[in-house]
Structure 1
């Protein structure tokens, strides 16, 4: 493997770790203690807050904001202009009018599991888990957990069905039972865990 390729306009803190064969493009900022795995692609104008974790073979499109407390596992796709939040009760100031500092709030973590996809302009509200190979439709506002293979859309995002690991929509809608569904595109059988 080759060392990471970092565009000269990108700002990468010396305490960040960027894996081999990862490419970081124009105007991206990667802060201290960020870890990004190998063979990932980080688009133009992205922001990675301190301590963020990103796996290997991840593709993050341009202008994505990933704030402190977010963990993105291997093989995840994040579309352009998506935003991950990290504070459930954001305020610029304390009740006494003083500017809030790091000690004045609590990070609420978010986890995006292996192979998931997040569409363009989606907002991921903190404190949730997006399941393996789940898909978040473009423009969605995700406020609760997304099951493995779940397809969510809307504001707030709601479960609309399920997707195959290949990305194609599986037949049928949401279910409360465990079911095996066959992908019409690739023929793979995916076991869906029922959701209440």
Structure 2
């Protein structure tokens, strides 16, 4: 296997696909699953109950919380925020976290926020800085706060 794990990262999982690169200061918990040919940039965190497909790019400053499912060919821009608890309180945890599903080929713009339990459709694009409060259909481009569809991709 041809996996690059930077010596300044903290990677506990062994479930990493071939040709995946994990850069410095990344933290990957035990049992997280990462596909082939992924690029996990510096200053990222991936919790245990996370599944990441093949050819996924996770740019710096992205934290991926329990329950999140990321399909193939997804791009997560710098500091994109994924959430998993609709009613967060200190020291009070839900029975189950509400993960986000990022479908094949979607792109999440820098500094955007995705609320828990949502699905971002295949090949959809979330514009930088957007706040996504509801599911995004396949091929839709959404921008703003709250994010609204501005057009569809062909």
After TM superposition, is the score higher than 0.5? yes
The match for 1:129 is 119
Aligned CA-pair RMSD:
1.2
Q: Which protein shows a greater Rg?
A: 1
Report the alpha carbon displacement of residue 33 of structure 1 after superposing the two structures with TM: 1.2
Identify which of 139, 142, 149 aligns with 2:129: 139
What runs of 5+ residues in structure 1 fail to find an aligned partner? 93-98, 164-189, 191-196
| Equivalent residues of 1:54, 1:72 under 8 A apart | yes
User: Which segments of structure 1 move beyond 3 Å, counting only runs of 4 or more?
Assistant: none
Report the alpha carbon displacement of residue 63 of structure 1 after superposing the two structures with TM: 0.9
Give the TM-score taking structure 1 as reference length: 0.76
Report the alpha carbon displacement of residue 139 of structure 1 after superposing the two structures with TM: 0.5
The match for 1:151 is 141
Where does 1:63-102 land on structure 2 (aligned, <5 Å)? 63-92=61-90, 99-100=91-92
Q: Distance in 1 between matches of 2:62 and 2:14?
A: 18
Q: Distance in 1 between matches of 2:99 and 2:49?
A: 11
Residue 69 of structure 1 aligns to a residue whose secondary structure is coil
| Equivalent residues of 2:65, 2:99 under 8 A apart | no
- Judging changes above 3 Å, is the alpha-carbon distance between structure 1 residues 125 and 16 closer, same or farther for their aligned structure 2 residues? farther
Residue 151 of structure 1 aligns to a residue whose secondary structure is strand
